[in-house]
A and B are shown apart, each in its own frame.
Chain A
């Protein structure tokens, strides 16, 4: 056996070895994610019934952090989006002399799509990254192990309050975003498009149907939970100190937004064809 032969074999071993390791690592990660989701469900729905308690106090704290504190930015962005949407719609609709339908477009587009989407992206940037950073820092500082060593379950302590808060505040923020976004449309309609306040609002109310609101809110609930699970997963899987925390925090935002868009496509199609 000559030198190049053994070298080739070495390379092959290296190549397949690395594929094998990656595959094993991937399976391990999936298993961890599966456990995280199962444990979250258990500690949210089953454990409280068995008298193991739910951390209501920290859930409220999280609701303030994730929900209440996000209201200003949600308001600001939704109002701007509402205005932008009104102007863009009017630009097209003017050509048909149907500017008043701006009201329909803003209302439907905001409640069905942009309200849930923009709010979810804000939550991903604000809270998803925060969750990943918080849990990641605790992991690096042995705080998670300290919790466990006191007989506390980290999922019950850290994950469930955040997911509960997200599940409640995601739709709440979306409702606020929807209202403010439509308000942005009203603002443009009155001050720039000369549509008249009453006419525009009547048209909006006429255009809005229950289904649009509900599908939007269902989406927002799913988006918020995706952000939460992603943030927690990224937090718990931090490796290697502060640098790892930074890396996983960034990853949590990127992955959250990716998953939000995927889920958005899925649910939009679902509602389009089925409802």
Chain B
């Protein structure tokens, strides 16, 4: 194999099984995320992308399988070990998840204040630098409720990178945002990877954004990984579900019923 294969894996997932009660969401997930690369996890709504992310950052324990982050199995870690590991991880949640009772500046400064013994003046400077990086300079004193959706997302990025993490997770960064703002966020992810050499995992279902940022693509379907590889291969992959995703074709449900209903309506009149 080539040089890329020799790269170390930041995350390895083996035979991951996750269920909620009797509802099995992930049946058998195997995937790797390589250090310094941007991996995009694709999949339809409700196929378990956010659930997968939650397990990688240890918010829930899986029903089976192993998750190695930086070669250490997080499924057997206790809370202290997990807490230490998480200092090197940043997460941008689907709904931004800024602390609504704190200003933007305090949101970004919180991890620094709690996890480091830096001087307050240093923390202020670092906070300002992170906000500059996401294009929110001068917004330190705003409350989250005073920002637009796109600005909240960017503030969430600033908070996620405040501790200079080695791995950054983003759950649907551009969901619910207009195309210009969404493109801006893709740009931001690209810059973060280039400038800070972060390993980045992005969950999305937007193909355009995927082509722009991805080094590798992992596609989830029905609780399994059905494709894993570089984006060029994804484009030509023959798997029917992948083709459907690439060509943006709908599932066929409800059409017969709609047709029948329409015919019934017209025949009645």
Contacts and interface: CB of A to CB of B under 8 A. Distances in A.
Interface of A: 134, 137-138, 141-143, 145-146, 148-153
B83 A151 contact: yes
Closest CB pairs A-B (n = 3): A151-B83, A151-B86, A142-B97
A150 B87 CA distance: 6
A150 B93 contact: no
Interface residues of B, number: 24
A142 B95 contact: yes
A137 B114 CA distance: 23
Contact of A151 (B54, B97, B115): B115
Contacts of B89: 149
A150 B99 contact: no
B97 A143 contact: yes
Contacts of B97: 141-143, 145-146
A148 B91 CA distance: 10
B79 A145 contact: no
A148 B97 CA distance: 12
Contact of A149 (B59, B84, B99, B100): B59
Contact of B94 (A134, A142, A153): A142
Contact of A141 (B83, B95, B115): B95
Contacts of A145: 54, 59, 93, 97
B110 interface: yes
B136 interface: no
Contacts of B84: 151
A149 B114 contact: no
B53 to A, nearest CB: 10
Contacts of A151: 82-87, 115
Nearest to B86: A151
26 contacts: A141-B95, A141-B100, A142-B94, A142-B97, A143-B97, A143-B98, A143-B99, A145-B54, A145-B59, A146-B91, A146-B93, A146-B97, A146-B98, A146-B99, A149-B59, A149-B89, A149-B91, A149-B93, A150-B86, A150-B87, A150-B114, A151-B83, A151-B84, A151-B86, A151-B87, A152-B114
A152 B101 CA distance: 17
A152 B113 CA distance: 12
Interface string B67-109: 0000000000001001111110101011101111100000000
Of the candidates A134, A142, A148, A149, the one having the most CB atoms from chain B within 10 angstroms of its own CB is: A149
Q: Which of A134, A137, A138, A142 has the most CB of B within 10 A?
A: A142
B57 interface: yes
Contacts of B82: 151
Given A149-B57, A151-B86, A143 B100 contact: yes
